[in-house]
Amino acid sequence: MQQQCAQYRSLNIKELSNLYSGNDINIVFSFTLTLSRLTSSYAIESISRNAMRTLQRYHPLLRSRLIYFNELWRFVSQELDESDDLADIIDIPIRDVHVLSEKELAITTQREYSCELDTEIDTCESLCRMVLITCDNSCKVGVIFCFLATAFDARNAFEITQNWIRGFRLQLQRAERETWVIVPMQELRDGEKRSLMNSVSDSWISRVAFLIEALIFVIWILWAQPYNLPESAYSREHYTDDQRKSHLCFFSLTPAETANFIQYCNRNRVSTSAMLTTIIAESISQKNGKKPVLSELIIDLRPSLGISRHVNGVFSSLIYLRHPRTSGTNNNRCRIRRAKRSQRNIERQIKFGIPYHNLYYLLPNKPLEKGDLRRRGLLVGYVLEDLGTCYERNDGESGGTEANNDDGKDMLKVENMFFAVTPTVVKAPRIEVRTLTYDGRLYFTFDACAKSISEDVIREVGNAVVEYVSRISD
C-alpha cells in the first residue's frame, strides 16, 4: 500500500461555533431494514463495514479527525488515490446490539436512538459512528447513524446515510465495489470556506434589504411580543446535568396522506416547508394562549456559496419567520394565506442573502461560545428543518425527486426513517422539529431539551401538528 498523506482543512465559522459551544451536538438518523432472508449478525456487520469503507473513499470527513494544530482547529484526513487500499483507513465505530425478539428490536432501537443523540462523539477516533440492532430470528435490522454536528450538517449526513443504504443493498446483491456509482470524488479542501458570506450578501442592495428586514423584525418583536410554549416546572426542578438531554416523539403519515399533503401544497402554490412551519406555529399558538410565534427555519447555503451539494461540512444557516396570533377557528383560507406569507418571506430572505447575516454566527465573524449559545432562543418558539422529498436515484446520487431505483428492492426494504439533532440547551422552552419524506412517507421527529419542556407537552404539540396535516390532506 502507498504511504497515505494527510490533508488539512480549517473549520468555517459555523463549525467553530458548534465546536466552542461544547462540541456535543449530534445528528442522528434511524431506520429499519427488512432483509429478504435471515442473515447472521456477523454477516450484517461485515456488510455494513464494507459499505462504510467504500463511502470513506468518496467522503473525506468520514476518514477524518478533529485536531488542534498551529493554533487552529482543523480537520485532518487521510488522502487517498483511486489505487489505494482501504485496509488502513480510519475505522468508524460500529456497535452491534443483539436482542431476542422483533418487539424488543423496535424498543431497543428507540432507546439507542436517544442514547446516541445525547452521547458525545470521540473526535480523536472519528467524526461519526453506527449502531446495528440485530435479532437472530428476524429479518429486521435497526440501524442508527450518529454524526458530529461540528463536521456535518443534516443534509450532508442524510446523503451519506442514503449512499450507505445503496451500498448495503449492492453488497447483498454481491455487486463488485468497482460498479458502485456513489458521488463525485472530493477532497477535504473542497469544503474550505472560512466565511459563509457570498457575493449577494456583500452587495449594497442586500445590505439595504437586511436593514429593512431587521427594522421590521425589531418592530414586530416589540409590538407582537411572541411567546414560547409554557415552561414545565416539573422538568426544570427534576432535571440534572447527568440526565439525557432530550425528550423525543416520533410520528409519520401514511403514503396516501403524504401524497395528499404534497398535492395540497402544490395546488396552493406553497412549499411543504412553508405549510409545515405555518401548521406548527398554529399548534404552538394554541398552547401558549393564542399568542404570536417566532420560528427559525434551517436552510442549506451550498447553492448560494457555489459549493456542490455533495461537499462534506456544515453549510447551513437559519432565517426567522414571524407568525401572527391564531383565532383558533381552523380556517383553511387563513392558513393558506399565512403559508403564502411565510413562503414570500423565505424567498425574500434567501434572495437578498439575509440568512447569511444572522446575528449568531456571521455578523460578529467570530465563533459563538457556550454561554452565548445558552442565551439563544428566548423568543423562538420552535425550529424547523425539512429535508424535503428524498429518494435513492438510479444514477447513484442522493436526494432529488426522481423515482426510486427498484434494483435490489426485493432484497431490502427501508422503513421508519427518522432524524433528530441534539436540542440546544436554552433558557426558554422551545421545540425542534425535523421532517423528511422518504419512500413516499412523511416522517416527523419532535424533540426538546428535557430541562424546560416535558414529554407530554411535546407529544401534544406533535399530535396536533400531525392531526392538522392529516385533516387538510383529506
Q: Is the pLDDT of residue 156 over 50?
A: yes
Percent of the chain with pLDDT over 70: 76
Mean pLDDT across 176-184: 58
Comma-separated ranges of CATH 3.30.559.10 domains in the chain: 7-183
CATH number of 199-472: 3.30.559.30
CATH number of 7-183: 3.30.559.10
Cα distance between residue 302 and residue 315, in whole Å: 6
Comma-separated ranges of CATH 3.30.559.30 domains in the chain: 199-472
Q: Is the pLDDT of residue 273 over 60?
A: yes
C-alpha cell at position 186: 472530493
Cα distance between residue 126 and residue 110, in whole Å: 23
Residue the block writes with cell 462504510: 52
Which tops the pLDDT comparison, 436 or 373?
A: 436
Q: Please report the sign of the dihedral spanned by the C-alpha atoms of residue 20, residue 118, residue 320, residue 429.
A: negative
Quote the pLDDT of residue 90. 83
The 3-class secondary structure across 243-308, one letter per residue, is CCCEEEEEEECCHHHHHHHHHHHHHCCCCHHHHHHHHHHHHHHHHCCCCCEEEEEEEECHHHHCCC
Contact 76, 123 (CB under 8 A): no
Which tops the pLDDT comparison, 320 or 27?
A: 27
User: Which residues have a Cβ under 8 Å from the Cβ of 107 and sit 6 or more positions away?
Assistant: none
Cα distance between residue 273 and residue 265, in whole Å: 9
The DSSP element (H or E) to which 411 belongs, if any, is: none
Quote the pLDDT of residue 54. 87
Encode pLDDT of 68-99 as tens digits. Answer: 888 888 999 877 665 555 556 788 999 999 99
Encode pLDDT of 104-137 as tens digits. Answer: 999 999 999 999 998 999 988 899 999 999 998 8
Give how far Cα 382 sits from Cα of 3, 142, 322, 385, 432, Å.
Answer: 49, 29, 11, 10, 6
pTM of the model: 0.87
Can you tell me whether residue 93 is helix, strand or coil?
A: coil
Q: What is the mean pLDDT of the chain?
A: 80
- Helices (H) and strands (E) counted in the chain, each on its own, are 13, 14
Contact 138, 128 (CB under 8 A): no
Encode pLDDT of 3-15 as tens digits. Answer: 457 888 889 888 8
The confidence band for 339, taking pLDDT boundaries of 50, 70 and 90, is very high
Encode pLDDT of 376-418 as tens digits. Answer: 445 788 999 999 887 654 444 444 433 344 455 567 899 999 9
Quote the pLDDT of residue 328. 56
